[in-house]
Amino acid sequence: MHVAENKNCDLFNGRWVPDFRGLLYTNQSCSTIPNSKNCGKHGRKDTDYLNYRWKPYGCELHKFDATTFLSIVRGKTLAFIGDSVARNQMESLLCLLSQEVTPIDMYKDSDDRFRTWYFASHNFTIKVVWTKYFVLAEERVINGTHTGVYDLHMDKLDTNWTNTLPGVDIAIISSGHWFFRQIYLYEHGNMKACIYCNAGNISNVSPGFAVKKTFRLALKYINDCKECGNLLTLLRTFSPAHIENGSWNTGGRCNRTHPYSEKQINLGGSEWTLRNIQVQEIERAKKKGKSRGKRFGHLDVTKAMLMRPDGHPDIHWDSQWMHGYSDCVHWCLPGPIDVWNDLLMAELRKEDNIVLDDSGEEA
């Protein structure tokens, strides 16, 4: 019999504890692992960072189980909508699921930013949908050179992701890192504010200001979407980077080999500020969505990942675009990012009123 999940269990508040039970997959056993996240292949020798699990206070987070997950999502389409960190979670999920079923690679665009994978045995589809900001964004190009400076139209959504929503059953939305750069914000075609621009004629605002406005607009669209059916939208909160002794292009590194304790992290920094904004916006959308048949929730990974400076590729990766630089934004596979899909499975079980016993079997 299905019973309700324990509502007093806060899966997002806890600590990392040693765990030597073994991995669900390795960088060799996962056939879909991307080269850029295959840290072991690119020279990472330490393995202690793999021997931890997330332990919520007062309860347990069950380890990912591919059979259970696939039974929950049978006949459904799940879309990861966001930037390359959203894709990183999709890559983790593929590795976890491919130990049970080999997916079919259905689609890849020319830039390898839009992907579709299909699990024929369960009629289950996974998509990754690229969007940096959720709103219309235009990079300034001078004499054919990309500047990294963006114009964001805060009242116009990026149709690359909105056009994919009909037919999606579960949407996991996320973004954040792209807001930490020089950006000019527009409404109705007029420049209203900027981030990191130091212009005297317009307001200089924080990245959080733009994150709040873009997520509010995106969530409003989802709430108003008549073609989206009984869509479940989960917002994955901001995933922190860890870089020390420089920036990504000036020799900065993220080469720690052990997690932080709770006392070592800063819950007053920009990462936590963005997390709070995102949680507030998803709760706001949840209230509005109750009468519209829309469902909202969140995967609050920020605190857990603030404690994992040891989980990034650092120099142990390969990219044709930025070879030689440290990657302190994305996460090694396998690695601490796999907990995001433990949490995803827990949230989907909660939606279906499924609870597991101590052995991981359905109660």
Please pick, among 314, 327, 338, 342, the residue that the annotation labels catalytic.
327
Please pick, among 153, 242, 316, 330, the residue that the annotation labels catalytic.
330
Tokens of 94: 């593929």
Is 327 designated active site? Answer: yes
- 229/234 Cα distance (integer angstroms): 15
Is 177 designated active site? Answer: no
**3-state secondary structure (DSSP) of residue 215:** helix
Instruction: Judge whether 40 and 93 are in contact, CB under 8 Å.
Output: no
- 249/45 Cα distance (integer angstroms): 23
Q: How many Å is the Cα radius of gyration of the chain?
A: 20
Is 247 designated active site? Answer: no
List the one residue out of 243, 255, 247 whose CA is nearest residue 315. 255
Please pick, among 84, 151, 206, 270, the residue that the annotation labels catalytic.
84
Give the distance from CA 64 to its chain's centroid: 17
List the one residue out of 160, 294, 276, 180 whose CA is nearest residue 227. 294
Backbone angles phi and psi of 337, in degrees to 5: -65, -20
Which residues on neighbouring strands pair with residue 135, listed in sequence order? 157
Task: Report the catalytic residues.
Answer: 84, 327, 330
